[in-house]
Amino acid sequence: MKEIYNLSEFKQGDFYLFSNKIVLNQTIRKKDFSECSIRQVNFSNCIFDRTSFPCTKCENLTFESCVFQNVSFKKSELENFIFQNCQLTCTDFGKSNLMDFGFINCKLNDIFFNAGELTDLKFDNSQLQDVWFSGSLLDNVKIKNSTLEKIRFDGAKAYKEVYINGVLTTNHIPIKDYASFLKEIS
Amino acid sequence: MDPARFAQLSIELTKVGPQQNIITEIEALTILQAEEQNLVGGISRPDMINSEKERKLNLDFKISSWNEHIFIGLQPTYVDIKSPLDPEVIRARNEPEQTLEDQVDNLLKTIYIQRQRATDNQETVIHIITLLRIKPSDRAYFMDNLKNKALKQNLDVTRILFLNTSIDRI
pLDDT of residue A160: 85
Does any CB of chain A come closer than 8 Å to the CB of residue B23?
A: yes
Q: Roughly what angle, to the nearest 10 degrees, separates helices B100-120 and B136-152? A: 50
In this prediction, residues A36-44 reach a mean pLDDT of 96
Phi, psi of B148 (to 5 degrees): -60, -45
Cβ–Cβ gap A117/B113 under 8 Å: yes
pLDDT range class, residue B133, cuts 50, 70, 90: very high
Over 90: is that where the pLDDT of A30 sits?
Answer: yes
Region A48-61: what's the mean pLDDT?
95
Query: d(Cα B170, Cα B162) in Å, to the nearest integer?
Result: 13
Using a pLDDT cut of 70, give the percent of chain B over it. Answer: 98
Count Cβ atoms below 10 Å from residue B116 Cβ, excluding itself. 14
**Residue B168 maps to a domain:** no
- Residues 6 or more apart in contact with residue B96 via CB below 8 angstroms: A37, A57, B90
Q: Do A135 and B15 touch (CB under 8 A)?
A: no
pLDDT digits 0-9 by tens, B56-74:
999 999 999 999 999 988 9
Average the pLDDT over B111-134 and give the result: 95
- Whether residue B141 is contained in a domain is answered as yes
- Residue A12's pLDDT band, with cuts at 50, 70 and 90, is confident
For the cut 80, the answer to whether the pLDDT of residue B170 exceeds it is no
Alpha carbon distance B54, A62 (integer Å) = 31
Domain, as residue range, for B27: 3-163
> CA–CA separation, A89 vs A182, rounded Å?
22
Average pLDDT score over residue span B20-33: 95
Structural domain includes residue B40:
yes
Strand A87-92 and strand A137-144: pairing?
A: unpaired
Residue A121 has pLDDT above 90, yes or no: yes
What stretch of H or E contains B97?
none
Domain extent listing, chain A: 3-185
Query: By percentage, how much of chain A surpasses pLDDT 90?
Result: 77
pLDDT tens, B102-111?
999 999 999 9
Q: How confident is the model over A118-138, as a mean pLDDT? A: 96
CATH 3.90.1150.10 fits A3-185, yes or no: no
What's the CA gap between B133 and B142, in Å, rounded? Answer: 12
The pLDDT of residue A14: 87
| Least-confidence region, from A7-11, A75-79, A91-95 | A7-11
| Chain B contact probe: residue of A15, A19, A35 with most B CBs at under 10 A | A35
Angle of CA points A12, A29, B92, to nearest 5°: 20
Residue type for B167, please? I
Burial of residue A174, with CB atoms counted within 10 A of its CB: 0-12 exposed, 13-18 middle, 19 or more buried: exposed
What local confidence, expressed as pLDDT, does residue B167 receive? 62
Residue by residue, DSSP assigns B65-91 as: EE-TTTSTT----EEEEE----HHHHH
Q: Is residue B29 part of a domain?
A: yes
Q: What is the pLDDT of residue B168?
A: 57
Q: What pLDDT, on a 0 to 100 scale, did the predictor assign at position B15?
A: 84
Mean pLDDT, residues B8-24 taken together: 91
Q: DSSP for chain A, please give it.
A: -PEE---TT--TTS-SEEEEEEEES-EEES-B-TT-EEEEEEEES-EEEEEE-TT-EEEEEEEES-EEEEEE-TT-EEEEEEEES-EEEEEE-TT-EEEEEEEES-EEEEEE-TTSEEEEEEEES-EEEEEE-TT-EEEEEEEES-EEEEEE-TT-EEEEEEEETTEEEEEEEE---HHHHHHHH-
Mean pLDDT rounded to a whole number for chain A: 93
CB atoms B19 and A132 under 8 Å:
no
**b/e for B67-87, b at 16 or more Cβ within 10 A?**
eeeebeeeebbbbbbbbbbbb
- State whether B22 and A91 contact (CB < 8 Å): no
d(CA A74, nearest CA chain B) in Å: 10
Q: Are B75 and B124 in contact (CB under 8 A)?
A: yes
Q: Which run of H or of E encompasses B126? A: strand B125-130
Which residues of A lie closer than 8 Å to B, measured between beta carbons? 12, 15-17, 32, 34-37, 50, 52, 54-55, 57, 70-72, 74-75, 90-92, 94-95, 110, 112, 114-115, 117, 132, 134-135, 137, 152, 154-155
- Cα–Cα dist B130/B31, whole Å: 10
Average pLDDT, integer, range A139-146 = 95
B67 touches chain A (CB under 8 A): no
Provide the number of structural domains found in chain B.
Answer: 1
User: Is B78 within the bounds of a domain?
Assistant: yes
Q: How many CB pairs under 8 A join A and B?
A: 87
Q: What is the pLDDT of residue A171?
A: 85
**Nearest Cβ partner of B57 from A115, A137, A152?**
A115
d(CA B170, CA A47): 42
Helices and strands, number each (H, E), in chain B: 6, 8
All residues at 6 or more sequence positions from A178 whose CB lies less than 8 Å from its CB, including other chains:
A151, A152, A153
